[in-house]
Amino acid sequence: MKDELFTMATEIPGLSPEARARWQHEMERTLLRMKHFAEMVMNPQEPVVGPTPRQEIYRKNKSRLYRYASTRTHRTPLLFVPNLGISRPYIFDLMAHGSFVEHMTQQGFDFYLVDWGVFGEEDNGLTVEDAVTKILPRLAQKALESSGASEMSVLGYCMGAPLSACFVATHPEFPAKNYINMAGPIDFAHVGLFGLWLDPRFFDVDKYVDTLGSVPPDMIKAGFKLLKPTMDLSAGLNLWWNLWNPEYVSGFNALNKWANEYVAFPGEFFRQWVREFYQENRLIRGELVMGGTKVNLARITCPVLAVGAREDNIAPPGCVKPLIEAVGSTDREYVEMPGGHISLIAGRGASVHCWPTVASWLAARS
């Protein structure tokens, strides 16, 4: 078939040799595209995700603490706190040679990952306060004990950043050596479209939680799809364009698996998250209370790095950067990277921009 198509191309009158070569090249790619498309449809393979070896250190209800061991060239281990709900944390270790976890362990950091888990109906009473004052302190303490280190760096990504910032600010007994906020909203006055849609004039969070009990995965999916309606179209087009490349296809399959695996929010968690963070912006105002203690970000005095992503529409740079002014640290830095909320931490761009920046910043302070 390939030969036939190529013969057809050579028969087109007036076609230059350059155009003929390009035509042949394009035909070859198109045939590969068709082959890979047929494989994807007829014989779909479950992508292998989370390839870096890990050890479960502790479990509390649905939450798990995992350790990814390294050669440990740096004394201070790293505790990674991702978002609770929304998505699964294997995006940070999506595939070999494309994993933030792998990069950090190769750089010599012992990496502790908090996996909040998938909460069920029985957890609908769980609040943000519970996550910050009950789950996180316990997992952080277990990580510290497991590492044998005297101090630990904390990295919060997305929603994990405000949660871990609240934890560090209200738990002075925890020896936080460094703190990193990666694409985590702090000042919710600049949080973009979600901030507008969740405005109390348009969104009644009480009615929502009282009716549904929790936020089902399909609702979360709908919200995120609405945030970028052309995303699927764009992803589909890029897939078609790169379908000839088996590496791209396997990366797409892994990312696609993750992107379609949404995780529910416990009802009371969502209520507190929306009301106190999105609607009342209590964190940056210093009005948030966790476990009877006012969350004062100025009590974070260790070195702080905040990383924003230029095209992030979930946590735009404007809501990430204010952490720098709010903390009490003298060693504080804000950097802005190209990319969006996910591409900041996963993918080729992240391996070029974000991972080395974070690793070198930490290495100098660990």
Partner 1 sequence: MADTGGQQLFDLWKKQVEDGTQQWLKMMGTPQAQTLDPQAFWRPFMDHCMAGWAKVMTQGTASPDLMGQWKQFLDQWIAAWSKVLEQAMGTEAFAKVIGTQLEGFLNAASPAKKAAEQHIEATLGGLGIPSRSQVTGIARQIVQLEEKLEGVEDRLEAVLKRLNDLAAALRQEPR
Contact 311, 338 (CB under 8 A): yes
**Which C-beta is closer to partner 1: that of 69 or that of 237?**
237
Distance CA 358, CA 223 (A): 30
Q: Does residue 294 bind partner 1 (CB under 8 A)?
A: no
Contact 312, 338 (CB under 8 A): no
Q: Does residue 22 bind partner 1 (CB under 8 A)?
A: yes
Distance CA 111, CA 96 (A): 16
Q: Does residue 138 bind partner 1 (CB under 8 A)?
A: yes
Backbone angles phi, psi at 306, to 5 degrees: -115, 135
Which two three-digit tokens encode residue 366?
């660990």
**Which C-beta is closer to partner 1: that of 128 or that of 205?**
205
Instruction: Report in angstroms the alpha-carbon separations of 195 from 198, 273, 277.
Output: 5, 12, 10
Q: Which of 199, 247, 287, 331 contacts partner 1 by CB under 8 A?
A: 199
Stretch near partner 1 under the rule CB under 8 A, chosen from 20-28, 45-53, 254-262, 341-349: 20-28
User: What is the closest distance, in whole angstroms, from the C-beta atom of residue 157 to partner 1 in the complex?
Assistant: 24
What beta strand segments (E) does the chain contain? Answer: 55-60, 63-68, 78-81, 86-87, 111-115, 152-157, 176-182, 262-263, 289-290, 293-294, 304-309, 332-337
User: What is the closest distance, in whole angstroms, from the C-beta atom of residue 299 to partner 1 in the complex?
Assistant: 24
Q: Which of 241, 331, 352, 364 contacts partner 1 by CB under 8 A?
A: 241
Q: Which of 118, 189, 233, 298 contacts partner 1 by CB under 8 A?
A: 233
Q: Residue 339, Cβ neighbours under 10 Å: how many?
A: 20
Stretch near partner 1 under the rule CB under 8 A, chosen from 67-75, 157-165, 190-198, 244-252: 190-198
Site for partner 1 in 110-129 (CB under 8 A): 120-123, 125
Distance CA 198, CA 205 (A): 8
User: What is the closest distance, in whole angstroms, from the C-beta atom of residue 297 to partner 1 in the complex?
Assistant: 28
- By DSSP bridging, strand 176-182 and strand 152-157 are parallel
Site for partner 1 in 203-232 (CB under 8 A): 203-204, 207-208, 211-212, 226, 228-230
Q: Does residue 16 bind partner 1 (CB under 8 A)?
A: yes
Q: Does residue 60 bind partner 1 (CB under 8 A)?
A: yes
Contact 140, 146 (CB under 8 A): no
Q: Does residue 202 bind partner 1 (CB under 8 A)?
A: yes
Backbone angles phi, psi at 186, to 5 degrees: -120, -50
Q: Which of 26, 218, 331, 336 contacts partner 1 by CB under 8 A?
A: 26
Binding site for partner 1 (CB under 8 A): 16, 18-19, 22-23, 26, 60-61, 120-123, 125, 134, 138, 193, 196-197, 199, 201-204, 207-208, 211-212, 226, 228-230, 233-234, 237, 241, 313
